[in-house]
Structure 1
Amino acid sequence: MQTPIVPHSQPTDPGRSKPFFEIAIERISSVYKPASARKEGIHYWPEPLPTPSHQLPDPLVLFYPEDLDTNQSGLDQRERQAVIPMTRREVLERRSRENIKPSMQIPLGLIDKPAEQLRETFLVDLHGAGGTATGGPLLIAGAQHSGKATALQTILFWLTTRFLPEQLRYAILDPFAELTHFRTLPHLSKANGDMYWSAEASEEQLQHFTNRIYAEIQQRHDLFASQQQHPQTLSQVWSQGLSIPQLLVIISNYQLFAERTTTALLIKKLAQTVMEARALGVYLIITSTETGPRQLPQELISKCPTRIGLGLSNRQNHELFGATILPAETVPGRGWIQTPERHIQQVQLALPLSGSTESIRDTQLKLALVQNSLP
């Protein structure tokens, strides 16, 4: 006998009358709770992915809100969903008392698995907690204003909350100045004051940036020369009391460098070198507005086991995923992902913070980054 599925009812417009089936579903759901239904083999269809709307432009955020006050639009904070079931303060408190180990697992949103009747957290694993095959570089491709920069903000906000500067460093190429809120973080400065940051796309600046990364990787090679390199090498080094921070390299808008003959080879070599340094605690995230071979070589795409496509055309989706898939809904942060297991699923990416407008969210993010430690 086929297992019956009872879909969850969705919020409806109070100004319209509800169809009979919606009323019936609501009554069934109110009386026949999911926990009781599961015992009898009846499963509720999971809620659809949170969708930004005019009334609630921020339905999915990274952390659970610090308070439950009514926001500016008159909607209760409970209508939002959080990827992390903890407040940011709680994560900071855990950071202050825990013996943190190297980990580059990043909660970035929610994924829909209709075939399994599941909705799960989208967890990016740059290192590979379950072994080498479960991790690797992250590639985010998307049209302009599709959410690429916001995804990077969410990633950096999580990692900055989770790790102290001595545990994690960033090296960021940001030619469109989309990540300037993070520029003053101590995570971008070396002990000698050098900055791992470049907002220029010139050959000279790119060469200077890459030389610093190559020097850092070589230092790690020399330091780890006496140890067999494997996924747990950095954890073992930390357990011995040696302070060697993880290093996250972000190449934002890769296509800008790839389209220029003076920087195309430099940026490709940088990406390949960082990809090969994962066992040394060096990780890579790339974003691009283009997926064609001139702007984003297939040999790089193939080495990124986790890929996100936002607002892409059918051709671009095929270039990114190697498969024909339906376009995702045209809503901010909605797209497709491919996991290291080569599963392609729909995703809704989380915002770093709540706010009814982008300007308000930017202001909140600036304040939160200033307050990156407990009082």
Structure 2
Amino acid sequence: MHLLFATQQPSLVKEGLTRNLTYRIALRLTSPDDSKTLLGIPDAAYLTTDTPGRGYFRVNKDVQQFQSARITLPYQPPLSGSGLREIDATGRRRVENTRIEQFLHSLIAQWERAVDIETLEQLINDEFRKLFPRDLTEQERQTVAKRLLQVRSPDGLRETVRSLFEQIQRTVDTELSLIVSAMQQRQPANYAAQKYRVWTAPLPSLLPSHWLPSAVTSAGMQVPLGLLDYPAQAEQRPLLYNPLGADGNLLIVGAAQSGKTTALRALMLGLAARYGPDQLWIYTIDQTGRGCGLWNPDQASLPHIAGAITPQESAAPGDTRSHSASLPHIADAITPQEDQRLERLRVELEDMLDERRDLLRRYGEENLLAYWRRRQDDPSLPPPPPVVLVVIDGVSALAEEYSQALIAFLRDARPYGIVAAITGATYKEVQKWLSVCETRIVLRVNDQEDSDQLLGKKFAARIPPSLPGRGFWRSTEGAVEVQITLPMASELPPEQATDAETFVDPVDEAKALVKQIRDRYAGAPAPVPLRLPETYIDLDTLLAEVAAPAAPFARDTLKFTPLVFDIDNTIPHLLIAGGPGSGKSAALQTLLTTIAARSHPEGVQFALIDYRKRTLAPFANSPFGRDWPVTVPDPVPLAPNPPTNRQNWKGEAETIRMAVSDGQAAGLCIALYDELRNRVQHGRSQPRLFLVVDNLDLMTGNEAGYLGLLAGFSMRSGDIGFHVIITATEFNTSNQLVKAMLAQRCALYLGKPSEPNSDISNLAGTGVKWMKKWAMAPFPPGRGLLRLPDRQLMVQVAHATDATIKRYVTSLAPASMSQHNGHGASVTDGAAPAAASNDVA
């Protein structure tokens, strides 16, 4: 073994090392002391920059000046003669011979005989191949042809061809490369590099996926992601990623155009090519909602994608629609702005986790991989659930609270076959994700500090932009350089890799791979996409789902569980607000219908106020309605204070089933006050009494103050069986009854506010909180936010059709009720039967 090393400061070389040096070479040094240390004389410090390569050679104590040859410059063909000639102060010599001149003489003779241009081109190419170890490129051929057309004399031809040869070889070959090439062609097997690999070739800048091994071990779910370089061992190994094993969650960090999305495509396509949709489901979150480019409804897409639903679309619970242009392993593709679908994804992942915990606990296995192996030995066991890969391309776009929730989920999910692959651009973006990501790949970053924080070295900041996919894999062995594979369907020989970089289209190659995968898994069951809340729910559907006596009226849009109107515990009263078209009146009809469906007229009675005589008319003329004897003042005075002071309370006596004017509303409130006061005195709570007001905004006179007389009774709803439901565009706490109801923290806001892009803490006076992230979410009629004492939910209120209202409400009415002739509203005096409200299109 021989040691060859170089230094710029000989004085820093340890004495023990210099004692074992046989030969010493000193080129130009910066100080006489350095020259004396190495040579024993100061002469090397006096060499000038005019003579690069000039130096001193010392063997033992003998020192000789020498001039080194320069072989790294472009090769220059000899011009004339066959001798040796010194051409500069460095002593560089070049061989000159007559080969080009002889060829030019022959070429001119052919030209003078008017040989065609094509023949002359071929002659030039043949001679070029003799002088240089390759053919002319197509671009060089075009240059030659263009120059030949311009030649008008033999001298012109001679100068043209000579200058072409000199120009071409300067840009292609150096003397060193030609010498090495000639040595390799003469006796390649005799060189040590062929017998003993000292180091491997650098990682390729283009690494097609088919260059990596297609077969992987059966230990889990493995996929080759790239090629690792181990120079110390003189070997390169595939980077095999095993999400079910120790590799776990994957974090990829890199600047723009560093290859992050391509790496995710390589991961998804690599797994999808090896495992079917029954073994792998993929959910993607990226800015385009296109599955990192692998889902496109208009083109062939990865078959693991069941479909992506835009914010304007919806799917019924359990909807398993599958687009024909979807990668079968991808269950859904989401954007970070689709808050509702992101929350739905989190809920479904948590449900999957609970199911997998139960399965593994039942069969005594610690993780899904162990169950997979056991199932291979015992096919009688239930099929294992698929591995779920959550791909997030750009974590910075996720809301902070959602990120924290997902991080907490991922801490426990990996043993159960739910893993994530995440990308970010900087250390700051991914800092909070580091604790849950077992595998880390750092591509090119712009800041050395980012590289240092992520790798412990500044290597990643030194990767040139011209090498997308080049990065470092952080392992227990330190930072290992890696080239991420490029998913390709085309077979590309290694010798074409350099030229191919200019024309390989990663997007087209990915599409071709997707088509191959789709063909392979044609007919395979697709993953179930995310269930989205219905835009319309029939009340009959909810009534069939929920057993009596519970009265369902809406569905939670996140968990899809029915919500019941629980007047004894959570919803003693309800304020309903919303703009035009939001579905307030339809929601009111739904609430009264579900109460009627789960009640008996002997146990429930309605006290109704509806100035428009439409929404509540079907309920007024039903067994749940009631004849209310009232005094109707005209005009309506201020509400008495105290309520028992009625010296000025005068008016016409009437019997009504629904108040449709200000006087009737005031009279009904006085009648209710007396009824409820009597209940308090005698401790009665039956039958349940519901005061229902449709559109409080229309009560603009003194009659609104009469509602305040009932505020104290609303606080004792459970004791006296009194419940209130009021709709309005917006509520004002100046009304004492509304103020008392707000204290119960039960309100429903339907639709979107007028300024949805701002956070609102008290929406329309209901206490409901609106967040601007919902601005782009769909809000069909009946969709809204339900405020309960302990939480807030997004809900879809069911719709009660005319047939449903008739079945549970109006069909129970006795014949005498349809002939009611009181001054209050009834079906016979103009109120529309069970009509849909005006604010529901």
Give the TM interval when normalised to the shorter protein.
0.7 to 0.9
Shift of 1:39: 9.0
1:351 Cα deviation after fit: 1.0
Q: Give CA-to-partner distance per residue, 1:163-213, whole Å, 9 cap, x none.
A: 111111112222333524246545344996274432342332211111111
- Indicate if the aligned counterparts of 1:142 and 1:288 stay in contact, CA closer than 8 A: yes
Aligned residues: 317
State how far apart, in whole Å, the 1-side matches of 2:408 and 2:134 are: 50
- Larger mean CA deviation between 207-216 and 242-251 belongs to 242-251
Cα displacement (A) at 1:2: 5.0
**Deviations 1:86-132 (CA, angstroms, capped at 9, x unpaired):** 5xxxx7xx9xxxxx95733221122222232222222223222xxxx
- Partner amino acid, structure 2, of 1:61: P
Equivalent in 142, 167, 171 of residue 254 of structure 2: 142
Which residue identity is paired with 1:83?
Answer: L
Residue in structure 2 matching 1:315, options 441, 449, 453: 449
Q: 2:373 aligns with which of 236, 243, 254?
A: 236
Matches within 5 A, 1:17-56: 18-30=173-185, 31-33=187-189, 37=192, 42-51=196-205
Instruction: Indicate how the Cα distance of structure 1 residues 358 and 32 shifts in structure 2: closer, same or farther if over 3 A, else same.
Output: closer
Q: Return the match for 2:339 from 184, 197, 203.
A: 203
Aligned to 1:254: 395
Aligned residues of 1:197 and 1:209 also touching (Cα < 8 A): no
- The aligned amino acid for 1:203 is D
Q: Report whether the alignment pairs 1:177 with 2:177.
A: no
Deviation readout 1:31-61 (Å, 9 max, x if unpaired):
3349x84796x3253121112xxxxxxx321
- Residue 303 to residue 323, structure 1, CA distance change in 2 (3 Å): farther
Within 5 A, what are the aligned runs for 1:273-352?
273-292=409-428, 295-298=429-432, 300-313=433-446, 314-325=448-459, 327-352=462-487
Does the C-alpha gap of structure 1 residues 2 and 208 become closer, same or farther in structure 2, counting only changes over 3 Å? farther
Contact 1:108 1:122 in 2 (8 A): yes
d(CA) in 2 for partners of 1:336, 1:160: 24
Whichever residue aligns with residue 244 of structure 2, its letter is H
Instruction: Show the 5 A alignment for 1:38-187.
Output: 42-51=196-205, 59-63=206-210, 82-84=211-213, 103-128=220-245, 134-177=246-289, 179-182=292-295, 185-187=302-304
One-letter amino acid of the structure 2 residue matched with residue 198 of structure 1: I
Letter in 1 for 2:169: R
Paired residue secondary structure (1:312): coil
1:220 matched to which residue of 2? 356
Aligned position for 1:71 = none
Counterpart-to-counterpart distance in 1, 2:169 and 2:194: 35
Shift of 1:155: 1.1
- Say what the alpha-carbon RMSD is for the aligned residues: 3.4
Comparing 342-351 and 325-334, the one that deviates more: 325-334
Q: Does the 8 A contact of 1:271 with 1:284 survive in 2?
A: no
Aligned equivalents of 1:180, 1:39: Cα separation in 2: 43
After TM superposition, the score normalised by the length of structure 2 is 0.34
Are the structure 2 counterparts of residues 33 and 170 from structure 1 closer, same or farther at C-alpha, using a change threshold of 3 Å?
farther
Shift of 1:256: 0.7
Partner of 1:193: 320
Alignment check: 8 A CA contact 1:135 1:305 kept = yes
Q: Secondary structure at the match of 1:25?
A: helix
TM-score of the pair, normalised by structure 1: 0.73
CA contact (8 A) 2:473 2:481 kept: no
Q: Is the 8 A contact 1:308 1:335 kept in 2?
A: no
Contact 2:302–2:514 (Cα < 8 Å) also in 1: no
Most deviating of 136-145 and 340-349: 340-349
Secondary structure of 1:187's partner? coil
Farther off after superposition, 275-284 or 23-32: 23-32
* Structure 1 residues 265 and 28: CA distance shift in structure 2, 3 A: farther
The Cα of 1:20 is off from its aligned counterpart by 3.4
Partner of 2:515: 367
- For residue 161 of structure 1, what is the amino acid of its counterpart? A
**Alpha-carbon shift at residue 366 of structure 1 (Å):** 4.4
Q: Secondary structure at the match of 2:427?
A: coil
CA positional deviation for 1:305: 3.0
Distance in 1, matches of 2:237 and 2:420, equals 24
Separation (CA, whole Å) in 1 of partners of 2:237 and 2:276: 28
Q: Is the 8 A contact 2:243 2:419 kept in 1?
A: yes
Q: 1:374 to 1:50 in 2, by over 3 A?
A: farther
Secondary structure of the 2:201 match is: coil
The one-letter code of the counterpart of 1:171 is: Y
Query: Equivalents in 2 of 1:149, 1:283: separation in Å?
Result: 17
* 2:188 partner amino acid: Y
Distance, in Å, in 2 between the alignment partners of 1:187 and 1:222 is 26
The CA distance in 2 between the partners of 1:317 and 1:29, in whole Å, is 40
Give the Cα–Cα distance (whole angstroms) in 1 for the partners of residues 134 and 421 of structure 2: 39
Name the CA shift for 1:48/1:167 in 2 (closer, same or farther; >3 Å). Answer: same
For residue 199 of structure 1, what is the amino acid of its counterpart? T
Distance 1:13 1:254, change over 3 A: farther
Cα deviation digits, residues 260-294 of structure 1 (max 9, x gap): xxx212223213423422221222211112320xx
Go from structure 1 to structure 2 and tell me whether the alpha carbon gap of 1:28 and 1:126 turns closer, same or farther (over 3 Å shift): farther
Structure 1: 5+ residue runs without aligned partners? 5-10, 52-58, 64-81, 95-99, 129-133, 258-262
Distance 1:360 1:172, change over 3 A: closer
Partner of 1:268, secondary structure, is helix
Please tell me whether Structure 1 or Structure 2 has the larger radius of gyration of its CA atoms: 2
Q: Compared with structure 1, are the counterparts of its residues 46 and 12 closer, same or farther at alpha carbon in structure 2 (3 Å cutoff)? A: farther
Determine if contact 1:110/1:120 at 8 Å carries over to the other structure.
Answer: yes
